[in-house]
Amino acid sequence: MRDWQQFTRERLETCPLPAAERDEVIRELAAHLEEGYAQACLEGLSDDEAFKVAQQEIPQGESWQVLAADICRAKQENSMNIRTKTVWLPGIAILFAAGLGLIFLDRAAYLQRFIWIACMAMLFGAADSEKNRLSQRTRSFWLPGFVSMTAAAIFLFAADIAYEPFLFFREITLHPQDLLRMNTDSLRASYLVWLGAQVVFGALGALFSRRAGGTRTSRIAAGSFPAVIIVGTYVVLMPVTSMFSGQAATSPLPAYLTAALLVWVAAPAVAVLLGAAPFIRESNKSRIAESC
């Protein structure tokens, strides 16, 4: 005798509905599975075959985590949380605009960092307020990616302060020549420690993504988020900053640019992917859930 309620409960444990509501959903879905199983048995299928028929209620390529998210979204009210509307979103918009302006103008580097951290904190606050309405992609890619990236950024700031405090509070530019200025032992040590830590941040992103039921692609993307953002910085911010600060004429030498790409893009990318690698494989638990 199969316990369909237990079967369903194990697979919907991530569904963040109030307990009574979740219990009712589990009861109803379990009854549906049981009915399909009983009908298949009546048609002469063996126990195992009937069990497989019942499992096909979750089509291949979909998962129970996706179903749980769909059910939550269907059951939740559509209106946005009042705190999100009045606090988080306006706060994020103001900070984001201010931070972007400072980046383009290449001013107040230390302030940019605090603004950036505050912005990410507010974003996580908003995600928490709206957790029942988040799509599966947000849960398994965007949020783990932002967590990984924010952890990497905070660590970089902390390493700066620990190794070269005076650099943290001075104007910095995004010019490759400056990014490659590692002329002291403490700067080199700071970089190496930060690079080593990327392994942890890659692992963090991929782990959170896996816990949220992310696909293999989501896990790789979430784990490599910090490196992707650095690439974005190179492709978008550096040229724009050069233009705004009137330094376009002193365009970076190709050799500097290549070296900076290797140091700040390629090396961290390899490090985050190394960290993410153990979590890219399917866990036993998710393999069971996916197969059902």
Under 8 Å CB-to-CB from 142, ≥6 apart: which residues? none
Euclidean distance between CA atoms 99 and 112, whole angstroms: 5
- Which is closer to other proteins, CB of 150 or CB of 286? 286
254 binds other proteins (CB under 8 A): no
Among 74-82, 146-154, 214-222, 262-270, the segment contacting other proteins (CB under 8 A): 74-82
Among 21-29, 108-116, 246-254, 258-266, the segment contacting other proteins (CB under 8 A): 21-29
Euclidean distance between CA atoms 33 and 54, whole angstroms: 6
How many residues belong to the site for other proteins (CB under 8 A)?
24
CA 109-113-115 angle, 5° bins: 110
Nearest to 175 by CA among 111, 227, 248, 112: 248
Minimum CB distance to other proteins, residue 78 (Å): 8
185 binds other proteins (CB under 8 A): no
Q: Which of 66, 118, 187, 266 is the binder for other proteins (CB under 8 A)?
A: 66
- Which is closer to other proteins, CB of 3 or CB of 178? 3
- Which is closer to other proteins, CB of 131 or CB of 247? 131
Nearest to 197 by CA among 153, 142, 261: 153
261 to 1, 234, 257: CA distances (angstroms): 61, 8, 6
Q: Which of 20, 77, 166, 183 is the binder for other proteins (CB under 8 A)?
A: 77
253 binds other proteins (CB under 8 A): no
214 binds other proteins (CB under 8 A): no
User: To which residue do tokens 């999100």 refer?
Assistant: 84
Euclidean distance between CA atoms 6 and 213, whole angstroms: 20
23 binds other proteins (CB under 8 A): no
- Which is closer to other proteins, CB of 42 or CB of 249? 42
- Which is closer to other proteins, CB of 135 or CB of 184? 135
Under 8 Å CB-to-CB from 55, ≥6 apart: which residues? 291, 292
CA 235-238-243 angle, 5° bins: 120
What residues make contact with other proteins under the rule CB under 8 A? 24-25, 27-29, 31-36, 56-59, 62, 66-67, 70-71, 73-75, 77
